Chain A
Amino acid sequence: MNLLAANAAATCTSKGEEDNTTTSTGVPDHRLGSARSGNSWAFRELVCANQSVVYSLALRILGVREDAQELAQDVFMLLHHYLADVHSVSHLRFWLRKTTCHRAIDRLRRRARVAVLPLDAVAELEAPAEDNDLLMDRRLRQFIAQLPAMPRAVLLLRYQEDLDPPEIAMTLGLPLNTVKSHLRRSLALLRSRCSGLLESGTEKRK
């Protein structure tokens, strides 16, 4: 009986949002204003509403859970410091994505080698997947983890955060054509490396 981890489904939530893994627009503007005025409770709600965005980006770029935890905390520490400069909820999301990606890429590049995402670590953190998708999910994540830093970040912003190419370009400070090129090449590489798996996944879904 794991007492301290009882009911592992409990997470902090913001108004109208029960599942932190779904896409959300964060907290209302008045909560942001309250946090900027120094209300620590409101700031905590900002953290709760955005922690999965920041953490997931960090985790999938860095590939190591502990590093991702540390980096995610660093990002929110920075947010606390620069909160007065954030003027809207959409700006907040943009800033968080941008800062997380840049810091994670910097840290990744400082490493001697590119870390392969530990499959077990990711599996226990993700929402439960159906058995017939589990293998495909793992292989896709493994493939993404082996990409160089910038194409990896582009793919994550596209398919994890649902940003379109112009938004990705602005977030990462890249030319639009570079973003499109990264997407095109990464997807082509994915198809060539995982063709058998993708086809069997298609058949199962049908």
Chain B
Amino acid sequence: MNEQELAQALRHALRRADPGEDFSDRVMARIYTSVSSETEARSGDTAVRTTRRVGRPVALRWGLVALVACVMVTIGVGHWRRAALERQRTLQAQTQLLQALRITSANLNAVRGAVAREEEFD
């Protein structure tokens, strides 16, 4: 066997294998699970707090700034969390929908096969 034939034989033997039709479903399911975990972890973050003591007028001003910052961060975190949860739900719905359609089609195929076999005996 020459070099070219050996290369051809190796390429034939090493044809790519497929991991299965639901592989992408499993990947997407893991992704939305990890997004969900990240969401849970980050929702525990609290707003920034300023505790340094300063003079009264300065303290008042900085206190107001800190209060506004807290409110904005809380709103921002809440908005981000809602968006992340929405993405997670969408991903989950999409994955489940495709799986449901796949199962429905598979079962209809089975019915088709069963009816075809019955018709052969008619």
Contacts and interface: CB of A to CB of B under 8 A. Distances in A.
In their complex, do chains A and B touch, with some C-beta pair under 8 Å? yes
Interface of A: 1, 3-8, 10-12, 20-22, 38, 40-41, 43-44, 47-48, 51-53, 55-56, 59-60, 68-69, 72-73, 76-77, 80, 122, 125-127, 129, 133, 136-138, 140-141, 144, 155-156, 159-160, 162, 187, 190-191, 198-199, 201-202, 205
B109 interface: yes
A1 B27 CA distance: 28
B10 A40 contact: no
The bracket for how many chain B residues form the interface is 35 or more
Interface of B: 1, 5-7, 9-21, 23-24, 26-28, 30-31, 34, 87, 90-91, 94, 102-103, 105-107, 109-110, 113-114
B16 A133 contact: no
Contacts of B30: 73, 77
Contacts of B12: 129, 133, 137
Interface of B is mostly: helix
Contact of B110 (A6, A52, A127, A198): A6
A41 B97 CA distance: 13
A40 B21 CA distance: 18
Contact of A191 (B6, B28, B102, B113): B6
B114 to A, nearest CB: 8
Given A3-B106, A6-B110, A44-B24, A159 B19 contact: no
Contact of A51 (B11, B13, B19): B19
Instruction: Choose among B13, B20, B94, B107 the residue with the greatest number of A CB atoms under 10 Å from its CB.
Output: B13
A5 B106 CA distance: 7
Nearest to B90: A40
B101 to A, nearest CB: 11
Given A44-B28, A51-B24, A127 B94 contact: no
Given A7-B105, A190-B6, A198-B6, 5 more contacts: A1-B114, A6-B109, A53-B16, A140-B14, A159-B14
A180 B50 CA distance: 62
A39 to B, nearest CB: 11
Contact of B13 (A59, A69, A136): A136
A201 B12 CA distance: 12
Nearest to A74: B30
A4 B5 contact: no
Given A140-B9, A140-B10, A77 B15 contact: no
A141 B27 contact: no
Given A12-B24, A191-B6, A40 B87 contact: yes
B18 A52 contact: yes
Contact of B17 (A12, A55, A140, A198): A55
